[in-house]
Homo-oligomer: A and B are copies of this chain.
């Protein structure tokens, strides 16, 4: 996966015709520092210098542009993660696989995995799949 520096963040913003502001760069570096999706509350906690409303707006702008994507965890709270390069404004990944750790509560985006083919009952015309698995992540399943 890409190792992103500030320069990459800036060009990412440029690419989407968004101004390179402090709050936006901070959100980008927070999100890409983690390999897990981050919940809105957690983000607020870390960015206590950024207004809550600004955060909402940044996240929804990023989502609209295909820079990040939103995933709801098993409690229905929104978590955000960087999109892989395959995502763009018009077409996000079709298949997402998310892992929700019941111990540390982290949400892992396992975008690179392929879902096996799933057959639905007659008449259902799927255009995308999202799989949630819950259980223990590698860190939490390690023997102590």
Q: Which residues of A contact B (CB under 8 A)?
A: 70, 72, 74, 76-78, 97, 99, 102, 108, 110, 113, 115-118, 120-139, 141-142
Contact = CB atoms under 8 A, between A and B. Distances in A.
Contacts of A108: 124
A120 B124 contact: no
Nearest to A130: B132
A37 B46 CA distance: 36
Given A113-B120, A120-B113, A132 B134 contact: no
A38 to B, nearest CB: 15
A115 B118 contact: yes
Given A115-B118, A117-B116, A135 B127 contact: yes
B118 A125 contact: no
A143 B78 CA distance: 35
Contact of A131 (B74, B132, B135): B132
B99 A123 contact: no
A99 B124 contact: yes
B116 A137 contact: no
Contact of A99 (B102, B110, B126): B126
Nearest to A108: B124
A129 B118 CA distance: 14
Nearest to A119: B113
